[in-house]
Chains A and B, each alone.
Chain A
Amino acid sequence: MSHLTGPRLTFAGRFLSDVSTRNNSSENYENPPAGPDLWNALGGGTLEPLGCRVTGAWLDATAHTDDPAVGYALSGADDRPSAKMVDLDPDWQMASELWGFRLRIFDSSNGALAVEGEFTPASFRDLYTRQFRDPGAENGQPAGGRYVSTLTDVTWGPAASQSAVMRALRDATRAGELAVCLHQFGYYYATSHARYRTGTLIGSIGPRLPDEAQTAQVSRRLLPFRTQAGTVLSAVDLMVGSSSLGADLGHALIIDDPDGTITDLGDFLKLGATRSIAIGLAPPAGAVGPLPDEQVTIFGETKVLEPGWYPRSGGIAEWPLDATAQARVVGAPLHLYLRTERGLYPCNAETAEGLFVRTDSFVRRLDSGDTVTVAFNARRLGQPAVVTIALGDPVSPSDGQPRADALTYPRQLVTDQHGHAELHIGSGHSYRRDNIDGMVFAIPYTPHLSAGPAAPATVGLGALDQVVVHQREPFAAPAAPDWGRDVLPVLRQYAYLYPVMSRHLFDLADEGAVRTHARHMLLAMARPITDPNYMPVTRDLSDAKRDMILRWLQGAVSQTNSQLVERRLRHEHTAVALPGPAAAGLAPPGDTGPDAKTTAARIASGLTGAGEG
């Protein structure tokens, strides 16, 4: 995304993610639930930036430290319910999405708006074990993920006009849009810790250029660098701009702690103390390092161990290129190097043939009879490319079985000269799981190199780079929905999965309580899915079932007095009998083993059997 080159704001702070965890376990979908609470049974899904500030204002690859935007505050919307972080389904927890997030930057000294925009819902990607040296760290979640998305409906305020960098950003970006990137890592699971449910957030905002993907950075990619121990430098996304080369180094670098202190990789690999990370052309064939400078063409380097480099830069390294360098970079594979006191060590190589293919909006909810469209973007050495992409059969993660008839889509796509293709996926044979609506399917895809299908790892794709579809069951709603027969089975499951409702608001499984709150539920359930107040927060209810509940609620509302709330001075709630320790209070997290994200990140990082809490 064009947050890699050009005018850019970088920011850092923490984030709150109050994800609910009972729905992480499919046993909790049973009646009554039989699974564990895990570490946040009472979560409500809120995603909120905490104490975030603009840390850098960058123009022409230079930090403008005096720009007034430095120090501006960054938050979510200040006049509506909070943004939500949501997993698709218990069978796919590795692509948490942000919904209803409006990002705001403002001058906290006077409240004046600088810029704000709506974050296009997107999933995080490129999960891997960032706290590589200490995967059993006290915060409990050593993995990190990255969001790339587009801010739309962008509004500029008076605090922007005082900032030269923001003025340049506004001129450079497509009207009403901006590009945004978020790194999240260092998340704390332990309920007793001061930082429980929070993690570190570092990010950047840049211009949105024409013909870019909405929720992905698709230009050039350097492959992960692995040693025997695992992935010590993850994939690096980079982009050649008009006079510079920009790369997201930050997300690729392993860190020593939840705060994001960059690991001295040279020291860790016993190659000597790290001096910098450098970008250049590929090394001579077979060369392993340390290489002297004369043997390598280097275009730029960054001292990533400089204190504060990561939050100040957003992890983005941008190196100016003169015309000669520009010409070389455009046509040849690039390579990342670790410079230590001994010399240059080749690390990340570019993808085979410079090929990089990535999807937009790859996490989808599909109702019976509907179709969803997933956009594919293909580049070769950063240029739009015509690429054949082979698609595999849909595989259900719950049992690893392919079910070719579950979804309807072609098994091959070819991108056009803009590097663009659309995959239309229609519903197919309806499969369901015990107690959970429908089934989730992962569709693997394989771009073709000139000689044929690429091994995904050679073109920078990992195990999680698949299209993921939750296909819901068909559901024929009765003309007059009945509480006990139709509504209760759906709402009771939500009551079990989200005890925050019955503990703190009202019991979704109690007809009287739901009738009392019917207007509020109607308000929340009738909103568009992008609204932060949309219910169910998890967005996992099919349209047909939701319509059925809405109709029942409308009936309930018209039956009751339209006066606000209960003039009744007595009201009886019968709480759902919460099974197990949750009824007595927050269950301690216990030793439930690594969760799906941690496991996925460990797989991505090539870690096996490393000690874990």
Chain B
Amino acid sequence: MLLIHADFVTRVRAAETPAALLELIQGAVELEFSTIPPYLTAMLSLMPGTNREIWEILHSVVVDEMLHMAVGCNLMTALGGGARIDSPAFVPRYPTHLPMAINSGLLVPLQAYSVTTVRDVFMKIEAPETPLVFPFAAGPVPYATIGEFYRALAARLGELGPDVFVGDPTRQLDAPQWFGSRLRPMRQPQDAIAAITELVSEGEGTKTSPLDAQGDVAHYYRFEQLLHGHRLVSDATAPQGFAFRGAAIPFNPANVFPLVPNQQLDALEPDSQAYRRATQFAFTFTKLLKALHETFNGAPKAFDNAMGLMFELRLAGQKLCSLPVGNGTQTVGPVFKYVSQSG
């Protein structure tokens, strides 16, 4: 269950100034970002060239989370602030309770892909307040979300009005070649409300449909496809019009690297290939954070560097995660840690 402290919602509803909202949105930005390393770790555990459909599904969710993060960062800019990304504090140490989440709630690890990971971690991260139930085999399980937080934020922005949009819109990221029309500069509350509404629907769907505002399957149900091994498709015979009876999604568990979960750098021998590759990965990750920080703090053109770094990170990660470690029964896990240099 992903529950956040009710205090966050209370504070949103009581916020009177842009500054009061900024800290809260920083938390949401950190939350969106914090889901990415677990998804990336699962992707990196899939051996290159195998389990590609699963990889694509996970990747599509990561891209959406990046977009959600960008929405939050642009909103902070619109309110006259700037997201703090270039900091060790931005990255949790896994396994972790996600930012804003209560400490007795879901503990999110970095671990190899498995159906168990999908069911017990990914679906719980993305679960809506009231998930819709589509026929598969077993019954539904109730979850909670931060959808309520986002809805409260949207409502409060509407109440506070255009006066709080004091930031320079040219400092926001506007990159149509990457995000199309999904990331538009926010100049007034209606822009933010629309972006937040889309964001929530991408994670959870709506109260009546598993599809988001764009007509794509929302994350929760996208993951559920992996659980059942079949795509969610329209099905007139099903009570709510959808069923997990679409094309099979192949999964070969033998083609998954047995990653060390929650890999720590100091668990690796310093004068070893594993350590060097792990620090190279961590440093590339840190460079990505810095490039994103620059992007969302006055230099949107730095996003091109961020894109290049994402490819570099993928290369570094795939090479890292194929490397046996310890007694050879496991491979090195990715290290999402803020480090100041490589080696």
Rounded to whole Å, the gap between the CB of A148 and the closest CB of chain B is 23
Chain B, 219-250, CB within 8 A of any chain A CB: 222, 231, 247
Measured between beta carbons, the chain B residues less than 8 angstroms from A503 are 48-49
- Asked whether, in the complex, the Cβ of B271 is within 8 Å of the Cβ of A194, the reply is yes
**A194 and B273 contact, CB distance less than 8 A:** yes
Residue of A nearest to B88 (CB): A111
Cα distance A407–B316 when bound, in Å? 41
Query: Are B52 and A573 neighbours in the complex by a CB distance under 8 Å?
Result: yes
Does A16 count as interface, using CB distance less than 8 angstroms? yes
Q: Are B340 and A198 in contact (CB under 8 A)?
A: no
- B115: shortest Cβ distance to chain A, in Å? 18
B60 touches A563 (CB 8 A): no
Which among B57, B63, B291, B311 is the interface contact of A79 at CB below 8 angstroms?
B291
Q: Which of A77, A78, A106, A566 contacts B56 (CB 8 A)?
A: A566
> Binding site of A, secondary structure by majority: helix, strand, loop or mixed?
loop
Closest chain A CB from B307 CB (angstroms): 6
* B120 at the binding interface (Cβ < 8 Å): no
B91 to chain A, nearest CB (A): 15
Cα separation A561 to B67 with both chains bound (whole Å): 17
What is the bound-complex CA distance between A193 and B273, given in angstroms?
7
Do B342 and A51 have beta carbons less than 8 Å apart? yes
With beta carbons under 8 angstroms apart, the residue of A49, A106, A520 that contacts B311 is: A520
A49 and B280 alpha carbons, distance in the complex (Å): 10
Compute how far the CA of A319 lies from the CA of B176 in the bound complex, rounded to whole angstroms.
60
Contact B315–A79 (Cβ < 8 Å):
no
Please measure, in the bound complex, the distance between the C-alpha atom of A524 and the C-alpha atom of B341, giving whole angstroms. 24
Give chain B interface residues in 302-328, CB to chain A under 8 Å.
Answer: 302, 304-305, 307-309, 311-312, 314-315, 318-319
For the complex, what is the distance from the CA of A533 to the CA of B273, rounded to whole Å? 25
B307 contact set on A, CB distance < 8 A: 520, 523
Q: Give A568 to B215 CA distance when docked, in angstroms.
A: 12
CB distance from A501 to the nearest CB of B (A): 9
What residue of chain B has the Cβ atom nearest to residue A557's Cβ? B177
Q: Report the bound CA distance from A111 to B293 in whole Å.
A: 15
A79 touches B67 (CB 8 A): no
Residues of B within 8 A of A485 (CB): none
Q: How large is the interface on B (under 10, 10 to 19, 20 to 34, 35 or more residues)?
A: 35 or more
When A49-B343, A570-B53 are in contact, do A565 and B302 touch as well, CB less than 8 Å? no
User: Are B308 and A524 within 8 A (Cβ)?
Assistant: yes
- Asked whether any CB of chain A lies closer than 8 Å to the CB of B191, the reply is no
Q: Are A565 and B271 in contact (CB under 8 A)?
A: no
Count of A-B contacts judged by CB separation below 8 Å? 140
Q: Could you tell me which residues of chain A, from 480 to 536, have a CB within 8 Å of some CB in chain B? A: 500, 503-505, 519-520, 523-524, 532-533
Is A562's beta carbon under 8 Å from chain B? yes
A581 contacts the other chain (Cβ, under 8 Å)? no
Output the nearest chain A residue to B289 by Cβ-Cβ distance. Answer: A79
Asked whether any CB of chain B lies closer than 8 Å to the CB of A82, the reply is: yes
Chain B residues with CB below 8 A from A519, complex form: 177-178
Q: Is the CB of B271 within 8 A of A564?
A: no
| Residue in contact with A48 in the complex, picked from B53, B286, B302, B342, CB distance below 8 Å | B342
User: A390-417: which have CB < 8 Å to B?
Assistant: none
Instruction: Find chain A residues with CB under 8 A from B217 CB.
Output: 569
Q: Is the CB of B343 within 8 A of A13?
A: yes
Do B315 and A570 touch (CB < 8 A)? no
Nearest-neighbour CB distance to chain A for B308, whole angstroms, equals 4
In contact, B340 and A569 (Cβ under 8 angstroms):
no
B276, A50: Cβ atoms closer than 8 Å: yes
Interface: A253 (CB within 8 A): no
Does chain A have a CB within 8 A of B294? yes
* Across-interface contacts of A106 in B (CB, < 8 A): 340
If A520-B307, A562-B176, A562-B180 touch, whether A51 touches B315 (CB-CB below 8 Å) is no
Cβ–Cβ contact B287 & A79, under 8 A? yes
B59 within 8 A of A: yes
* Residues 237-274 of chain B, each 1 if its beta carbon lies under 8 Å from chain A, else 0: 00000000001000000000000000000000101110
Interface membership of A235, Cβ < 8 A: no
> Contacts of B318 on A, CB cut-off 8 Å?
504
Distance of A257 from chain B, by nearest CB (Å): 15
Q: Give A334-360 as 1s and 0s: 1 = Cβ < 8 Å from B's Cβ atoms.
A: 000000000000000000000000000
Q: Which residue of A lies closest to B309 (CB)?
A: A81
CA distance A108 to B286 in the complex (A): 14
In whole angstroms, how far apart are the Cα atoms of A80 and B177 in the complex?
Answer: 19
Is B286 a contact partner of A561 (Cβ separation < 8 A)?
no
On whether the beta carbons of A50 and B56 are closer than 8 Å, the reply is no
- Contact partner of B342 (CB less than 8 A), chosen from A75, A195, A533, is A75
Q: Quick check: B272 and A194 within 8 Å, CB to CB?
A: yes
How many chain-A residues does the 8 Å CB contact rule pick out?
52
B290 contacts chain A at the CB level, 8 A cutoff: yes
CA distance A504 to B43 in the complex (A): 12
Residues of B within 8 A of A73 (CB): 340-341
Contacts of A81 on B, CB cut-off 8 Å?
A: 287, 305, 308-309, 311-312
Residues 549-579 of A, flagged 1 when their CB comes within 8 A of B and 0 if not, give 0000000010001111111111101010000
Residues A79 and B290 in contact in the complex (CB < 8 Å), given A519-B177, A567-B216, A571-B56: yes
Which residues of A, 24-82, contact B by the 8 Å Cβ criterion? 42, 44, 46, 48-52, 73-75, 77-82
Q: How far is the CA of A561 from the CA of B273 in the complex (A)?
A: 41
- Given A49-B341, A564-B182, A565-B59; A523-B308 close (CB under 8 Å): yes
CA distance A82 to B177 in the complex (A): 23
In the assembled complex, A14 has its CB within 8 A of some CB on chain B: yes
A17 → chain B closest CB, angstroms: 12
**Contacts known (A80-B287, A80-B308, A564-B63); A569 close to B341, Cβ less than 8 A:** no
> Are the CB atoms of B276 and A16 closer together than 8 Å?
yes
Residues on B with C-beta less than 8 A from A505 are 311, 314-315
Interface residues of B in 276-299 (CB under 8 A from A): 276, 279-280, 283-284, 286-287, 290-291, 294
Question: Inside 8 A of B52's CB, which chain A residues have their CB?
Answer: 571, 573
- Could you say which of B63, B286, B341 has the most chain A C-beta atoms within 10 Å of its C-beta? B341
In whole angstroms, what is the CA distance A14 to B279 when docked?
13
Please indicate the chain A residues that have their CB under 8 angstroms from the CB of B182 in the complex. 563-564
Separation of A78 and B287 alpha carbons in the complex (Å): 5
> CB of A225 within 8 A of chain B?
no
Residues on B with C-beta less than 8 A from A564 are 63, 67, 178-180, 182
Tell me the complex Cα distance, A564–B181, Å: 9
Q: How far is the CA of A523 from the CA of B279 in the complex (A)?
A: 27
Chain A hits for B309, CB < 8 A? 80-81
How many angstroms between the C-alpha atoms of A523 and B271 in the bound complex? 36
Cα A14 to Cα B343 in complex, Å, equals: 8
What residues of chain A lie closer than 8 Å to B49, measured between beta carbons? 503, 573, 575
Asked if A196 is at the interface (CB within 8 A of a chain B CB), the reply is yes
- Chain A's closest residue to B217 (CB) is A569
A-B contact pairs, 16 of them (CB 8 A): A48-B283, A78-B286, A78-B340, A80-B287, A81-B309, A194-B269, A503-B49, A504-B314, A504-B315, A561-B180, A562-B177, A562-B181, A563-B180, A568-B56, A569-B222, A570-B53
- Chain A residues in contact with chain B, CB under 8 A? 13-14, 16, 42, 44, 46, 48-52, 73-75, 77-82, 106, 108, 111, 193-196, 198, 500, 503-505, 519-520, 523-524, 532-533, 557, 561-571, 573, 575
Q: Name 8 extra pairs, CB < 8 A, besides A13-B343, A565-B59.
A: A16-B280, A46-B312, A80-B309, A193-B273, A194-B271, A198-B276, A557-B177, A562-B177
A-B interface, 4 closest residue pairs, ranked by CB to CB distance from nearest: A50-B343, A51-B343, A563-B180, A533-B308
